[in-house]
């Protein structure tokens, strides 16, 4: 989520992809995908295109995490970077509380098909809690974010973001058409 998103592609070696042995299931309403794509596409339409950022909130029940809300914070964005303020992070936390949700993921777009985490993505992430997902969407979301394996899905695990394997994503993430979700947009 910083300028490094562009530069690091050529500097840091590709991340290892992990297939953790767990039975966590992530349930994502298709509306969450559509709302996320819509917001990221709006950043892409800025000239020149900007990286975009949204947060996902959800509920945890046993080993099942269900996404219930897309929250678009106020950001500073540009080519190759997007960041949030303390104020917008406060609005985000307040919204989670309003709906009784926990933070599930941060989702941001990259200019190219490079969807690893940059050094900035690792160090400047506003939130780092165990199990938090960080999803990087390629090509400014021009082609959407499906299948999810086109994205880089990272999980904060023991103080570092690890990148999840396609095998893990295919077996642990499910998209459902029959679930509702909220969209809260703080950019206005």
Site for Zn ion, rule CB under 5 A: 1, 5, 118, 121
User: CB nearest Zn ion: which residue?
Assistant: 5
* Smallest distance, Zn ion to C-beta of residue 91, A: 22
CB of 62 to Zn ion, least distance (A): 31
- Whole-angstrom CA distances from 176 to 34, 66, 128, 140 are 12, 10, 27, 24
Burial of 42 (0-12, 13-18, 19+ CB in 10 A): middle
Between 57 and 120, name the residue whose CB sits nearer to Zn ion: 120
Nearest to 59 by CA among 107, 104, 106: 104
Q: Given the DSSP bridges, would you call strands 64-72 and 182-185 parallel, antiparallel or unpaired?
A: parallel
Rounded to a whole number of angstroms, the minimum distance from the CB of residue 163 to Zn ion is 12
Nearer to Zn ion, 1 or 33 (CB): 1
Please, which residue, 95 or 134, has the CB nearer to Zn ion? Answer: 134
């Amino acid at each position: 989520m910083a300028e490094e998103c562009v530069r690091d592609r050529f500097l840091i070696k590709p991340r290892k992809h992990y297939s953790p042995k767990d039975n966590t299931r992530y349930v994502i309403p298709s509306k969450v995908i559509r709302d996320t794509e819509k917001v990221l596409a709006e950043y892409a339409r800025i000239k020149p295109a900007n990286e975009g950022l949204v947060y996902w909130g959800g509920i945890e029940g046993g080993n099942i995490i269900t996404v219930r809300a897309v929250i678009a914070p106020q950001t500073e964005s540009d080519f190759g970077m997007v960041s949030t303020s303390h104020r917008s992070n406060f609005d985000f936390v307040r919204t989670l509380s309003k709906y009784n949700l926990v933070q599930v993921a941060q989702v941001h777009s990259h200019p190219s098909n490079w969807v690893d985490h940059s050094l900035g993505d690792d160090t400047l992430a506003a939130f780092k809690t165990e199990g938090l997902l960080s999803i990087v969407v390629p090509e400014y979301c021009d082609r959407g974010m499906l299948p999810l394996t086109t994205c880089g899905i990272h999980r904060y695990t023991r103080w570092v973001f690890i990148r999840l394997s396609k095998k893990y994503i295919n077996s642990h993430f499910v998209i459902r058409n029959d679930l509702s979700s909220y969209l809260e947009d703080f950019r206005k």
